[in-house]
Amino acid sequence: MASPSFLQDTYAGRRVLITGGLGFIGSNLARELVKLGSKVTIVDSLIPEYGGNRRNLAGILSRVKVHVADVRDWPRLPRLVRGQDYIFNLAGQTSHMDSMTDPQTDLDINCRAQLAILEACRIHNPTIRIVFASTRQVYGRPDYLPVDETHPLRPVDVNGINKIAGESFHLLYSRVHGLRATALRLTNTIGPGMRVKDARQTFVGVWIRDVVQGRPFEVWGGAQRRDFTFVDDAVEAFLLAAGRDEAIGEVFNLGGPPPVTLLQLANQLVDVNGGGNFVVRKFPAARKKIDIGDFYADDRRIARKLGWRPTTGLRTMLERTLDFYRTELTHYV
């Protein structure tokens, strides 16, 4: 776990830009940076399908600058990146199914726009420190478990291919242009502020919504094993990755507590909620084609190099997320 003094020394008074900063992880990152005394600027398109929500910054909106802008609007990027000390680059299209039905948009956001951000940095702010949010989806269906960073990259959907390109651009610009970039490959991240109106970010959000509303939720399959990262732990990983020189030019997996099957997760969610129901369904054929099956990450590399370890257990993740949505759900559906 990062020491509070290290984080304070690293971020107090520093200028930080968060792309996708009104989204789930970006907004939680903004909250922590405000606590640390950073001067936070947020860029978010607020396109309804992509998860941005001003409610995510309730209580700190007056302490951050918010630009409603799309990272595909390339002419605006130079002005946004100038003068920043750090960029946490979380803007992206996250839906796997959307990437298959609208691949051009996924390409524009997860690939072309990432290159434009890096070019703006190279020309207008070459000393900046960048952390890019990548995904476990780049691996595809695992050859072995847990999946480490040397596993072949073999995506099962367009989103995974474009995320490989996005992280590859960041690492290339780090090697060739000295932009000091790092990529983090995220697994299922859950917690307050996660998207719950649909499954565009994670199926767990829909489960949370339904159980809070007293409706049965659907479990597709049920035997698949997955791991989960609590958002606070993910935020700490981003802060460590940007603050430690050992992370420059590197890519790291994030993980979480021991993996569970989806059926085990469903039962635990009902137990933590104090009630609820779910129905087990056969996996839909359209989604089965791009499902990765069992997946859990080997996160020993980031532990070894940066000292990061997830500290939040699965039960605590579910308790804190349910507590949040019992009072906040109307702002998210």
Please, what are the domains in the chain? 4-190+228-257+296-311 (3.40.50.720)
What CA–CA distances, in Å, run from 250 to 1, 3, 130? 19, 22, 11
pLDDT digit string, tens, across residues 114-155? 999 999 999 999 999 999 999 999 999 999 999 999 999 999
pLDDT digit string, tens, across residues 208-228? 999 999 999 999 999 999 999
Q: How confident is the model at residue 48 (pLDDT cuts 50, 70, 90)?
A: confident
Q: What is the mean pLDDT of residues 272-293?
A: 86
pLDDT of residue 127: 97
pLDDT of residue 1: 63
Higher pLDDT among residues 43 and 107, named by residue = 43
pLDDT digit string, tens, across residues 247-258? 999 999 999 999
Q: What is the mean pLDDT of residues 16-29?
A: 97
Q: Of 330, 207, 227, 333, whose CA–CA distance to 277 is shortest?
A: 207
Nearest-10 Cα torsion for 283, 325, 321, 33: 120
Q: Phi first, then psi: what are they for 74, rounded to 5°? A: -60, -40
Q: Phi first, then psi: what are they for 43, rounded to 5°? A: -120, 125
pLDDT at residue 294 is higher than 90: yes
Alpha helices in the chain (DSSP H): 4-11, 24-35, 77-81, 96-101, 103-107, 113-124, 158-177, 203-212, 231-243, 262-273, 285-288, 300-306, 314-328
Task: Compute the distance between CA of residue 309 and CA of residue 324 in angstroms, rounded to an integer.
Answer: 24
Task: Compute the distance between CA of residue 305 and CA of residue 206 in angstroms, rounded to an integer.
Answer: 35
pTM for the full predicted model: 0.95
pLDDT of residue 92: 84
Strands 228-230 and 188-190 turn out to be parallel
Kindly report the length of the chain.
333
Give 264: exposed, middle or buried? Use CB within 10 Å, 0-12, 13-18, 19+: middle
> 279: how many CB neighbours lie within 10 A of its CB?
10
What CA–CA distances, in Å, run from 83 to 13, 16, 87? 13, 9, 11
The overall average pLDDT reported for the chain is 94
Task: Compute the distance between CA of residue 12 and CA of residue 231 in angstroms, rounded to an integer.
Answer: 21
